[in-house]
Structure 1
Amino acid sequence: MIRWLLSLALLTAAPAFAQIPHVEKRGEVRQLIVDGKPFLILGGELGNSSASSRAYLAPRWKRLKEMRLNTVLAPISWELIEPVEGKFDFSSLEWLIEDARANDMRLVLLWFGTWKNSMSSYVPDWVKRDAKRFPRTVDADGKSQEILSAFSPAVRDADARAFGALMAHLRKIDGDRHTVIMVQVENEIGFLPTVRERGAVADAAYAKAGGNEEVFTATAYARFVEVVAGAGKKAYPLPMFVNGAQGRPGKLPGEYPSGGPLAHLMQAWRGNAPSIDFIAPDIYFPNFSGIIAGYVTPENPLFVPEANNAGDPRAAANAMLVIGKHRGMGFSPFSIENIGDAGAERLGGLYALLESMTPVILDAQSKGRIAGFAPPVTFDGVVDEAPQRIEYGGYRFTVSFVDPWTPKDKQQPSEHGGMIVWLGGEEFLIAGRGVTVTVEPADGKGKAGLDAVDEGRFEGGKWIAGRRLNGDETHQGRHVRLDPGRFQVQRVKLYRYP
């Protein structure tokens, strides 16, 4: 309650800070609010080292804009921020914000502090070189690892001081502009290659706590992160999250990053790190739909900061699941600056569609009037092409992923996906690519017909109608079809007849 009252006071203390980006429950969903309005992240995450050089990144902004990104996820590393203990250099933050503003982009900062992908490779050299003050973990043979201990108050407090200083400076230079809209605390935390940290302090803590070793590890990490995030939020209370590297099926903790922010450890993380607004999955495996489902709870909104590598041909289908089915806050492929031409064209087409529909999508999310569809894929790559169904406004929609007018060997149904938005009454939007939709009355009485199907686009939130598709394009009123080769949106008005 005290933390909630403090956050409320900060949000209402002054006009500039009344609009601090935050996560807020709107209707049936939690949404990211930026400058007082819901915001949908159409993002891309930079490679780990790209934001360390302004010159390296400079020529790449143009392509990010061409792909219609509105947000870039960019690492900020402890070693660059505090090269000498107590002396801070914020130049890497300052130029990043300047260049993002120049290119009309928002930023999500990724704090590479004590841990990045389980290891401690981004800490300053004054931390690396002082193993007595900043103890490392040891492996099963008692040998030191390049992993700092989660049980070290010195490590934790040094990280928290640096992160707090970063957030204080961010508030000073960006508190009235909100170029930075969220912050990720650490990166892909999790212990390797054993289920839990070893060493005298860690062993003593486990001997006292007992229980499940991975839950013990998650609890230790979450409590560490709570101190770091709390220091940052005290300085500038932006939304904060942690991201989890996923494990392969059948692997044991330690064979994947044990104790990280994973769906099965959500209780440990949310209970011990209340300053964290949500936990997020990083996904590089084919079973995307199964992974994200575990992260969706009423208190944990969905955001995917690393939705596979940029160029993934299934990005559009996966984005439809995140934004449509699970009403997520956004979507972001990794290593976005290295995307190839074909991938850039696909992602640009997807983001152009989503950008134009953003006000409609966000409103529909809050009202529970949006659904997303894509074929599920197993970890082994087996695609379930079976049609999917949803009921809205008294109608039952059946969505098929195999295009009836394209030879089967010329299409990839796993890459097809779409969303349906109920506008109210008998009017709907159907958007995406490669899906075919048929409609029937939900109560089974009579039949449903297509009164009117218009292709079109949104400009400035206003619908601009194009061709009326009541002929061959709808198979004489039998279905709504979105071509597999392009992204589009069609506005559909239904009617019923005996």
Structure 2
Amino acid sequence: MKHLTHLCLIVLLEFTSLLSFAQLPRLDKTRTAPTMMVDGKPFLILGGELHNSTGSDKVALRAALKEIKSYHLNTVLAYAYWEMIEPVEGQFNFELVDDLLKSAKEENLKVVLVWFGSWKSTASSYVPEWVKTNPKRFPRYTLADGKTLEMLSAFSDENRNADAKAYTALMQHLKETDTQHTVIMTQVENEPGCFDNYRDLSPAAQKVWQSAMPSDMVNYLKANKGKLFPALEKAWADNGYKAKGTWEEVLGKSTEQGEYKFYTEELFMAYHYAKYLNYIAAEGRKKLDLPTFCNGWLYNKRGFYPHGTINPHVLDAYRAGGTALDFYSPNVYTTDYDELFTNYTLGGNTLFVPESMLVPAGALYSIGAFNALGFAPFGIDGERTKSKENAVHLGILTATNKTLANMTGLITSNYASPKMRGVYINATKKEHKVELGDYQLTASSSTERGGFSLDFGKSLEKVGKPQAPATSDAAPATPAPFGSVPKGIGAAIVLQNGTDEFYVVGYGVKLNFALKEGIKFEHLGFVSIEEGTFDNEKFVSHKRWNGDEQKASLPDTQLTILKIKLYRN
């Protein structure tokens, strides 16, 4: 009897433990598109990332979280610093992490915990003193002249294992203490890569470079033949689709020629960064199986970017390097969203924007058109965020966060659905056409005068259709300084709620509704245009637009939510 009681107690404890983690945050890949699940329900990450050093000051951190909660964020991207967690090898201090989670819970915020370990914007500035001061034990990235950088080499097991040990200790600590799952996801490292060279030339790296391409990379190429990034597909094809040999024997010589300079070397480094990152992530997930990712600094044709970092042209190499990371993300300091978001979703990569300029259009478009898990402007706790220059955009972002939080189920249930579309315009992209059901919608700038919000079709054939405003042939405006918000931007999420009924959430765009070619009708018109809000997944009407305001034109100074019903006969 005593033995049976003891056995029942063990079973009860195990069951209690399972219940505790039954609602572990996860990425549900069984739905129409990968969906973040928190507390068992779909979750949009309406986030903001702190400045890098905020988390090292408890008072500043608490004040920042209290303030940013007013922006209707539900998630903060904050940091765990290796140098402060393990100042002495083998001795761990999680005081700052504990304070972060306590403060976040007080503000009802979830946390994406960013691990500043081996690399932060390429540099190893967050490694502990005992790592920095012992380059013999912890080797560094080496240049052609033999000089080394303050950057741990990805080809050292000692580097990788020391990082993984600290990260795993952090994940074990979260498992033991974060029972309410305030941390919903982790980012392992930040922007690996190197500005100074395309390839690590340390002795260990040289040996690997001269060896055969690893089998998992070869197998990835073979499994994805015809679906690889175009430049990689071409490089492999031009070299005869070889399936064995060194990297250059399989993919061709690494030279300055072509759009992507020293491309084979960049792919080589990307693959080995991925192996390093995925090893650390896998070790951590053995302790606490949270969704995990890493981010990259954007490629630019001038060559000023960390070579080998996470970018579309090397994303295949990252994906070949392991599966412990769920996806790879861009840091979005551009508004050329179409090419960027398209390329970061190639091969089924899930889109999440962990860093961005303060441009609400990025949130609306990435979520509405690319099924993004969420969006987070960087430096959300900074004075620049609250500046006069950013006042309008901060107001729109705040309203966007509040609205999308009340539409999460509606939006996530329409991921990858023909009933949801995102539209986006900017200074050089004057219009954006999408199709929903029987309709073709054309988005243009709401600040330009002229035109109606309907293509009246046959009802105006005898008097002529309204003319669209003329487009300018002027040269594009000079790009705005880094981090500042460009002008002339607008975006919206459009959801079809019925055959002739739509919800629109956005700003700065005017929508023209037309029936698709071939659909017969005599008259097309508005039944109603209602302005309102969303509350717990339901539209609440506050105002009816008619007369001079009977048009789907959303001002560029505020977020507008509309319910539009049309008729045709």
Same fold (TM over 0.5): yes
Q: Is the 8 A contact 2:425 2:444 kept in 1?
A: no
Q: Which amino acid aligns with 2:360?
A: A
Q: Could you say if the C-alpha distance between residues 289 and 116 of structure 1 is closer, same or farther in structure 2, counting changes exceeding 3 Å?
A: same
Distance in 1 between residues matched to 2:418 and 2:86, nearest whole Å:
45
Q: Which amino acid aligns with 2:568?
A: R
Looking at secondary structure, tell me which structure has more strand per residue: 1
2:557 is paired with a residue of what secondary structure?
Answer: coil
* Equivalent in 306, 309, 319 of residue 257 of structure 1: 306
Q: Which residue does the alignment assign to 2:321?
A: 272
Kindly provide the CA deviation profile for residues 363-413 of structure 1, in whole angstroms up to 9, marking residues without a partner as x.
Answer: 22264421111125xxxxxx224322211121111211243459999xx86
Kindly provide the CA deviation profile for residues 63-97 of structure 1, in whole angstroms up to 9, marking residues without a partner as x.
Answer: 20111111000121111111111111011110000
Q: Is the 8 A contact 1:281 1:304 kept in 2?
A: yes
Q: Is the 8 A contact 1:241 1:277 kept in 2?
A: yes
The answer on 1:90 being equivalent to 2:94 is: yes
Moved more, 394-403 or 65-74: 394-403
Segments of structure 1 that go 5 or more residues without pairing to the other structure are: 1-9, 377-382
* Equivalent in 67, 73, 76 of residue 69 of structure 1: 73
Task: Please identify the structure whose Cα radius of gyration is greater.
Answer: 2
Q: Taking structure 2 as the reference length, what is the TM-score of the superposition? A: 0.78
Moved more, 49-58 or 346-355: 346-355
Q: Could you say if the C-alpha distance between residues 398 and 344 of structure 1 is closer, same or farther in structure 2, counting changes exceeding 3 Å?
A: closer
Give the root-mean-square deviation of aligned CA atoms. Answer: 2.3
Moved more, 49-58 or 22-31: 22-31
Q: Is the 8 A contact 1:439 1:449 kept in 2?
A: no
Q: Which residue does the alignment assign to 2:260?
A: none
Q: Which amino acid aligns with 2:364?
A: M
1:336 is paired with a residue of what secondary structure?
Answer: coil
Q: CA deviation at 1:190?
A: 0.9
* Equivalent in 328, 331, 350 of residue 301 of structure 1: 350
Q: Which residue does the alignment assign to 1:282?
A: 331
Q: Is the 8 A contact 1:11 1:17 kept in 2?
A: no
Segments of structure 2 that go 5 or more residues without pairing to the other structure are: 1-13, 212-245, 249-263, 451-468, 473-485
2:201 is paired with a residue of what secondary structure?
Answer: coil
Q: Is the 8 A contact 2:446 2:555 kept in 1?
A: no
* Equivalent in 11, 15, 19 of residue 15 of structure 1: 19
Q: Is the 8 A contact 2:425 2:509 kept in 1?
A: no
* Equivalent in 147, 150, 155 of residue 151 of structure 1: 155
**4+ aligned runs moved over 3 Å, structure 1:** 10-13, 404-409
Distance in 1 between residues matched to 2:15 and 2:367, nearest whole Å:
27
The answer on 1:37 being equivalent to 2:81 is: no
The answer on 1:178 being equivalent to 2:181 is: yes
Distance in 1 between residues matched to 2:531 and 2:96, nearest whole Å:
45
Distance in 2 between residues matched to 1:43 and 1:267, nearest whole Å:
27
Q: Is the 8 A contact 2:446 2:554 kept in 1?
A: no
Q: Which residue does the alignment assign to 2:462?
A: none
The answer on 1:469 being equivalent to 2:545 is: yes
Q: Which residue does the alignment assign to 2:520?
A: 445
2:414 is paired with a residue of what secondary structure?
Answer: helix
Distance in 2 between residues matched to 1:137 and 1:307, nearest whole Å:
28
Q: Taking structure 1 as the reference length, what is the TM-score of the superposition? A: 0.89
* Equivalent in 381, 386, 410 of residue 340 of structure 1: 386
Distance in 1 between residues matched to 2:118 and 2:15, nearest whole Å:
29
Q: Which amino acid aligns with 1:388?
A: H
Q: CA deviation at 1:416?
A: 1.5
Q: Which residue does the alignment assign to 2:557?
A: 485
Q: Could you say if the C-alpha distance between residues 298 and 207 of structure 1 is closer, same or farther in structure 2, counting changes exceeding 3 Å?
A: closer
Q: Which residue does the alignment assign to 2:284?
A: 232
Q: Which residue does the alignment assign to 1:358?
A: 408
Q: Which residue does the alignment assign to 2:217?
A: none
Q: CA deviation at 1:12?
A: 12
Q: Is the 8 A contact 1:385 1:402 kept in 2?
A: no
Distance in 2 between residues matched to 1:452 and 1:414, nearest whole Å:
28
Q: Could you say if the C-alpha distance between residues 124 and 453 of structure 1 is closer, same or farther in structure 2, counting changes exceeding 3 Å?
A: same
The answer on 1:244 being equivalent to 2:296 is: yes
Moved more, 315-324 or 435-444: 435-444
Q: CA deviation at 1:349?
A: 2.7
- % identical aligned pairs: 37
Distance in 1 between residues matched to 2:16 and 2:296, nearest whole Å:
33
Distance in 2 between residues matched to 1:287 and 1:366, nearest whole Å:
21
2:532 is paired with a residue of what secondary structure?
Answer: strand
Q: Which amino acid aligns with 1:80?
A: M
